[in-house]
Amino acid sequence: MPPVREIASAPDPVAAVLNAHEHGELISLPTSGTTSRPRSVVRTTASWVDSFAHVSRLTEIDGCSRVWVPGPLAATMNLFAAVHARMVGAILVDTPEEATHAHLTPATLLTALGGGADLRGVHVVVAGDRLSRDTAARARASGARTSHYYGAAELSFVAWGTHEEDLQPFPGVEIEIRTDTIWVRSPYLSLGYDRSLEYDHGADGPFAVDDAGFATVGDRGSLEQGLLTVAGRGTAMVLTGGVTVLVADVEQALRRATGSDVVIVGVPHRRLGQVVGAVVTEPAAAARIRSVARAELASAQQPRLWFAVPSFPVTPSGKVDRIALSAMAANGQLTAVTSSSRSKS
- Give tens-digit pLDDT for 88-106: 999 999 999 999 999 999 9
Residues in a beta bridge with 268: 274
Domain with CATH 3.40.50.12780 in the chain: 4-224
4-224, what's its fold? Rossmann fold (3.40.50)
* Sign of the CA dihedral with 233 first, then 265, 108, and 226 last: positive
**What span, in angstroms and rounded, lies between the C-alpha atoms of 271 and 139?**
43
Q: Which amino acid is at 240?
A: T
**Left, alpha or beta for 116 (phi > 0: left; psi -120 to 50: alpha)?**
left
Q: Assign domain 236-336 one CATH number from 3.40.50.2000, 3.30.300.30, 3.30.300.20, 3.50.50.60.
A: 3.30.300.30
pLDDT tens digits, one per residue of 66-92: 999 999 998 999 999 999 999 999 999
Alpha carbons 238 and 245: distance in angstroms, whole number: 5
Burial-class residue 116 by CB neighbours within 10 Å (0-12, 13-18, 19+).
exposed
CA neighbor of 235 nearest in space, from 47, 37, 7:
37
Identify the burial level of 340 via C-beta atoms within 10 angstroms of its C-beta, where 0-12 means exposed, 13-18 middle and 19 or more buried: exposed
Query: What region, left, alpha or beta, does residue 38 occupy, with left being phi > 0 and alpha being psi -120 to 50 degrees?
Result: beta
How many CB atoms sit inside 10 A of residue 268's CB? 12
pLDDT of residue 290 exceeding 50: yes
CB atoms within 10 A of CB 173: 23
Average pLDDT, the chain: 89
Distance of alpha carbon 334 from its chain centroid, rounded? Answer: 23
pLDDT tens digit sequence for 216-271:
999 999 999 999 999 877 667 888 877 888 888 898 889 888 888 899 998 988 88
List the beta strands (DSSP E) in 80-120: 91-93, 101-104
User: CATH 3.30.300.30 spans which residues of the chain?
Assistant: 236-336
- Express each pLDDT in 4-51 by its tens digit: 999 988 999 999 999 999 999 999 998 865 444 568 899 999 999 999
Q: Tell me the C-alpha to C-alpha distance, in Å, between residue 331 and each of 70, 169, 326.
A: 31, 41, 9
- Closest listed residue to residue 252, CA positions, set 184, 167, 324: 167
Q: What is the pLDDT of residue 235?
A: 62
Percentage above 90 pLDDT, the chain: 65
How far, in Å, CA of 202 to CA of 4, rounded?
16
Helix, strand, coil shares of the chain, percent, nearest 5, are: 30, 30, 40
H/E stretch holding 293 reads helix 283-296
Q: Look up residue 85 and give its DSSP letter.
A: H
Whether 234 and 248 have beta carbons less than 8 Å apart is answered as: yes
Measuring CA to CA, which residue among 152, 159, 193 is closest to residue 176?
Answer: 159
